[in-house]
Amino acid sequence: MLTAKDALAFTAAVSPIAKSEFRSDIERQSGQKILQCYQCGKCTAGCPVSYSMDLGPRRVIRAIQLGLKDEALSSSTIWLCFFCYTCSARCPREIDIARVMESLRLMAVSEGVKPAEKDIELFHRLFLDNVRRWGRIHELGLAGSYNLFSRHFLANVGLLPGMVSRSKLAILPPRIRATAQVKAIFAKAGQRKSKQRVGKS
Ligand code: SF4
Ligand code: SF4
């Protein structure tokens, strides 16, 4: 069996990797050892949305190994990832790739890198607002507000009758007991973010 030392030696032999501040930052934020990756591609092979990504998880990890910050942060992959953790579960080097994706996305937002996917930031904002308001996702409300604010007024409207009639979409928002606690979590996260901004300025 390949040891961590062997894997590193192999990676270095295939492509000598210089020290990279970007790689160190991502490793620190995600708690993952990026150089452990030996590029087997199991992450990309299992990713349910890799067909729509420009790089795919394996290539994003490779970009980090090589210190290619712009390529990684401007990739559509970091926005299309929905943290299903399939890649993390499959990785033979036990790299939690989903956490790496999250760290990349946070870094892209804090450094003002424009997302590669049009309207995806809007979708994320509306998604979180929906969770904050109802405690769980109200798909119909989310789809409606996304169509409205993105100005794709009629996008997917034809699917609506079939989905509602098959009970795949609820007309009314979900009712959960702990909405106040969910709102408190969002308020706490907001305070933390403000403190981080003050700390940086
Ligand atoms: S599954 Fe793990 S080792 Fe294989 S390419 Fe992906 S991150 Fe690298
Ligand atoms: S966590 Fe993200 S990158 Fe990994 S398999 Fe799921 S969607 Fe793909």
Mean per-residue pLDDT for 161-181? 88
In angstroms, the CA 137 to CA 130 distance is: 6
Mean per-residue pLDDT for 47-54? 96
Domain final residue, candidates 60, 78, 110: 110
Domain shared by 82 and 125, yes or no: no
Q: Which ligand is nearest to the CA of 43?
A: 1
Domain shared by 125 and 193, yes or no: yes
Whether 10 shows a pLDDT value over 60: the answer reads: no
Domain shared by 88 and 8, yes or no: yes
Residues in contact with 93: Cβ distance below 8 Å, sequence separation at least 6, in sequence order: 4, 7, 36, 37, 38
In angstroms, the CA 195 to CA 201 distance is: 10
pLDDT of residue 177: 85
In angstroms, the CA 116 to CA 70 distance is: 11
128 within 8 A of 158, measured Cβ to Cβ: no
Domain shared by 52 and 32, yes or no: yes
Domain shared by 75 and 127, yes or no: no
User: Residues with beta carbon inside 6 Å of ligand 1?
Assistant: 37-43, 57-58, 61, 90-93, 95, 97
pLDDT of residue 6: 63
Locus of tokens 């890799």: 50
**Ligand 1 atom with least separation from CA of 40:** 4
11 within 8 A of 79, measured Cβ to Cβ: no
Percent of the chain with pLDDT over 70: 87
Domain shared by 10 and 54, yes or no: yes
Whether 118 shows a pLDDT value over 90: the answer reads: no
Q: Whose CA is nearest to atom 2 of ligand 1?
A: 91
Domain shared by 93 and 150, yes or no: no
Locus of tokens 């904002």: 125
Locus of tokens 């299903």: 84
Distance from the alpha carbon of residue 45 to the mean position of ligand 1, in angstroms: 10
Domain final residue, candidates 76, 110, 144: 110
Domain assignment present for residue 95? The answer is yes
**Ligand 2 atom with least separation from CA of 83:** 1
Which CATH number covers residue 102?
Answer: 1.10.1060.10
Record the pTM: 0.77
Helix/strand number for the chain, H first, E second = 12, 0
Domain shared by 88 and 129, yes or no: no
Q: Whose CA is nearest to atom 5 of ligand 2?
A: 47
Domain final residue, candidates 110, 135, 167: 110
Query: For a substitution probing ligand 1, which of 93, 96, 97, 101 has the most ligand atoms within 8 Å of its CB?
Result: 93
Domain shared by 92 and 133, yes or no: no
Mean per-residue pLDDT for 54-76? 95
pLDDT of residue 191: 81
87 within 8 A of 49, measured Cβ to Cβ: no
Domain assignment present for residue 115? The answer is no
Q: Determine the structural domain holding residue 161 and report its residue range.
A: 120-200
Domain shared by 65 and 9, yes or no: yes
Domain shared by 128 and 70, yes or no: no
**Ligand 1 atom with least separation from CA of 87:** 1
Total domains, the chain: 2
Domain shared by 83 and 147, yes or no: no
Mean per-residue pLDDT for 66-94? 95
User: Residues with beta carbon inside 6 Å of ligand 2?
Assistant: 46-47, 49, 57, 81-87, 97-98, 101
Choose among 108, 92, 104, 81: nearest CA to 38. 92
Mean per-residue pLDDT for 155-179? 88
In angstroms, the CA 179 to CA 198 distance is: 29
